Structure 1
Amino acid sequence: MPYNRVDVAMRDLLSTFSLLEAAELTGRLARTAAAVAGTAYAGFVRVDALRQDACPLHVHTPPGDPLRLRRWLAESGVLKELAASSDAVRLPPDVSMGEPGFLAMPVPVAARDRVFVWVAGRGFCDGDEHLLGRFATAAGRALEAASGCEAAARLLRGVRAFRPVPP
């Protein structure tokens, strides 16, 4: 087969666009959110367009989940609160009630569903809310960029598939 610059260039471009995987990026963003907030717990929640249901997209916990945060997310009603909210949600810790302390910020993304980034495991203040808000903005840009790269890769695969074969 003769050397084809178009094939080589297209393969290189597709490999570059394919480096970002949304699931891996979401995991890295959650781990970083936990580090930024000084906790061991963080994640993302998706809220449907009708604001009726919320479900965890990613949950980052330390091994063994000592605060049983996964269970708390499912049973506490915080997901319903996020579904109804358009602003930050801050819940103070209450050890006697099993409340770990929770802070969630909307992630500005151009999508049908709403997304929140959250951190948990301690009491949070206005400064934490400001910092997580700035992180949410950066996370939104990163998630949109990853989505854009995935879409571009799909389009390029179509160009490659339907490119005329040279004589």
Structure 2
Amino acid sequence: MPYNRVDTAMRELITSFSCLQAVELAERLAHTAAAVAGTAYAGFVRVDPLRQEACSVHVHAPPGDPLRVRPWLAESGVLKELAASSVTVRLARDVTVGEPGFLATPVPMAARDHTFVWVAGRGFGEGDEHLLSRFATAAGRALEAASGLEAAVRLLRGVRAFRPV
């Protein structure tokens, strides 16, 4: 079989575009958000287009979840608060009632439902809000770029599949 430059070039392009996995990217972004905020907890929450429900789409937490942030997210009502909000949400830390301290900011993305990046595990101030807001902008661009690469891979596979031999 003769060397096919088009097939090789397409395969290489598809492989390079496929290297970025959305789940791995979300984990890397959450891990980095936690590091930027100086805490061990971070994640993403997606809000439906009607802003009636929010669901946690990724949680980065230390092994064993010592502050019990996962159950707190589900039981505290913070998801309902995020569903109704279009701005940054900051909740004070109060260990006596199980409040871990929480900060969530919208992730600006044109192609997705309303999304928040959040951090938890300590008290947060205005400086933290500013820093997380800047991080959210970068995260939004990264998530949209990953989505664009996934779409490009699907299109390239179609081109490759229907290219005349």
TM class, shorter-length: over 0.9
CA–CA distance in structure 1, aligned partners of residues 123 and 131 of structure 2: 14
Residues 101-136 of structure 1 show CA distances to partners (whole Å, capped at 9, x for unaligned) of 000000001124111000000000000000000000
Cα distance between partner residues in 1 of 2:51 and 2:22: 23
Q: How high is the TM-score relative to the length of structure 1?
A: 0.98
Corresponding residue for residue 159 of structure 2:
159
Q: Which runs of 5+ in 2 are unaligned?
A: none
**1:22 alignment partner in structure 2:** 22
1:45-77 Cα shifts (integer Å, max 9, x gaps): 000001011001100110000011000000000
The equivalent of 1:72 in structure 2 is: 72
The 5-angstrom pairing of residues 97-108 of structure 1 reads 97-108=97-108
Moved over 4 A (4+): none
Note if 1:96 corresponds to 2:96. Answer: yes
RMSD value over aligned CA atoms? 0.5
Alpha-carbon separation, structure 1, partners of 2:154 and 2:64? 39
Other-structure match for 1:85:
85
Q: 2:36 maps to which residue?
A: 36
Task: State the one-letter code of the partner of 1:78.
Answer: V
Q: 5 Å matches for 1:81-160?
A: 81-160=81-160
SS in 2 for 1:27: helix
CA distance in 1: counterparts of 2:39 and 2:55, whole angstroms: 21
Q: Which amino acid aligns with 2:73?
A: L
Between the aligned partners of 2:81 and 2:69, the Cα distance in structure 1 is 16
Aligned twin of 2:56 = 56
Among the aligned pairs, what percent are the same residue?
A: 80
CA distance in 2, matches of 1:150, 1:8: 19
Corresponding residue SS for 1:52: coil
Opposite residue 130 of structure 2, the aligned amino acid is: H
- Between the aligned partners of 2:116 and 2:69, the Cα distance in structure 1 is 16
User: Could you tell me whether the CA contact under 8 Å between 1:18 and 1:150 is conserved in 2?
Assistant: yes
Gaps of 5+ in 1: none
